[in-house]
C-alpha cells in the first residue's frame, strides 16, 4: 500500500469518520510493506502485510465477466491526470496496467489478484468487506465488477469519489442515489457523482473550565 493513501483511509466501522493511526514497521520507498493501523475512536486494529492492507475478509464471488478492455475502461473513467487515486475493484484491476499507460493517476485495487510484472507502480492494494475504508471525496473515479457492485459498496463509492468524478459498474446493477447516468450499454453504466456526503468531524479540545 502506498504511504500517500494513509490520509484517505478511514475506519470502516459504524461511527463518524475517523483517520487511522499508523505504526510503520517496514517500508520500501513510498510503499508500506508492514504496518499496523488503529482507529482512535473504536480501537479497531488493521494490518498491512506484504504491502496489502486488510480491513476485512474480501468480498467473494465467481469471476464470470469477460476480460476488461483497459482503453475502454480508461475512457469510461475519464481521468486524464489526478493526484487522487482511481479505484479498481476485483476483475476491474486487470485493466490497471493499461489504464496506467493512459493516466499517471495512482490506483487503489480492492480484493484484486496479486499484480503481474507489468502492473503500474503506483498501486495500493486493500482487502475489504461490505464497507469501504475510504473517506469522502478521496477518489478521482472508480470501477467495480459484478461481485463488488453491492448496494453497500456502491453507496460507499458514491461517498468516496469526488463530486464530478465517475463511477463505472455492470449494467445489470441499479444506480445508487447521488449519481447521474452519463452512458450505458449492454455491459456497463457510467455515472457522475452529483453529491458530496459529510466527512470528518473536527474535534476540538475544550478548556479545563469548560469541562463538566
Query: Which residue in this structure is represented by grid cell 471525496?
Result: 137
If phi over 0 gives left and psi between -120 and 50 gives alpha, with beta otherwise, what is residue 24? beta
CA–CA separation, 156 and 66 (whole Å): 25
Instruction: Tell me how far apart the alpha carbons of residues 72 and 100 are, in angstroms, rounded to a whole number.
Output: 13
Per-residue pLDDT tens over the stretch 8-65? 999 999 888 888 999 999 999 999 999 999 999 999 999 999 999 999 876 655 454 5
Write out pLDDT tens, residues 155-191: 999 999 999 999 999 999 999 999 999 999 999 999 9
Domains in the chain and their CATH numbers? Answer: 52-59+68-193 (3.40.50.150)
Residue for cell digits 480492492? 110
pLDDT of residue 210: 45
Tens-digit pLDDT profile for residues 86-128? 999 999 999 999 999 999 999 999 999 876 666 666 799 999 9
User: What pLDDT, on a 0 to 100 scale, did the predictor assign at position 65?
Assistant: 55
User: What's the confidence (pLDDT) of residue 133?
Assistant: 96
Question: pLDDT at position 200, please?
Answer: 57
Say whether pLDDT at 77 is over 70.
Answer: yes
Amino acid at each position: 500500500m502506498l504511504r500517500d493513501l494513509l490520509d484517505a483511509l478511514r475506519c470502516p466501522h459504524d461511527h463518524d469518520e475517523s483517520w487511522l493511526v499508523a505504526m510503520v514497521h517496514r517500508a520500501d520507498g513510498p510503499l508500506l510493506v508492514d504496518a499496523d493501523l488503529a482507529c482512535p475512536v473504536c480501537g479497531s486494529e488493521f494490518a498491512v502485510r506484504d504491502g496489502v492492507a486488510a480491513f476485512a475478509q474480501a468480498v467473494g464471488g465467481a469471476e464470470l465477466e469477460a476480460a476488461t478492455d483497459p482503453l475502454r475502461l480508461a475512457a469510461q473513467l475519464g481521468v486524464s491526470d489526478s493526484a487522487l487515486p482511481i479505484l479498481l475493484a476485483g476483475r476491474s484491476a486487470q485493466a490497471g496496467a493499461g489504464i496506467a499507460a493512459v493516466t499517471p493517476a495512482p490506483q487503489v485495487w480492492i480484493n484484486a489478484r496479486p499484480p503481474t510484472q507489468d502492473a503500474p507502480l503506483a498501486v495500493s492494494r486493500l482487502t475489504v468487506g461490505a464497507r469501504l475504508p475510504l473517506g469522502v471525496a478521496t477518489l478521482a473515479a472508480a470501477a467495480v465488477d459484478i461481485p463488488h457492485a453491492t448496494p453497500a459498496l456502491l453507496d460507499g463509492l458514491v461517498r468516496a469519489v469526488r463530486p464530478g468524478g465517475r463511477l463505472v459498474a455492470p449494467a445489470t446493477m441499479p444506480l445508487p442515489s447521488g449519481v447521474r447516468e452519463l452512458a450505458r450499454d449492454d455491459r456497463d453504466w457510467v455515472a457522475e457523482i452529483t453529491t458530496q456526503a459529510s466527512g470528518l468531524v473536527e474535534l476540538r479540545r475544550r478548556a479545563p473550565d469548560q469541562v463538566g
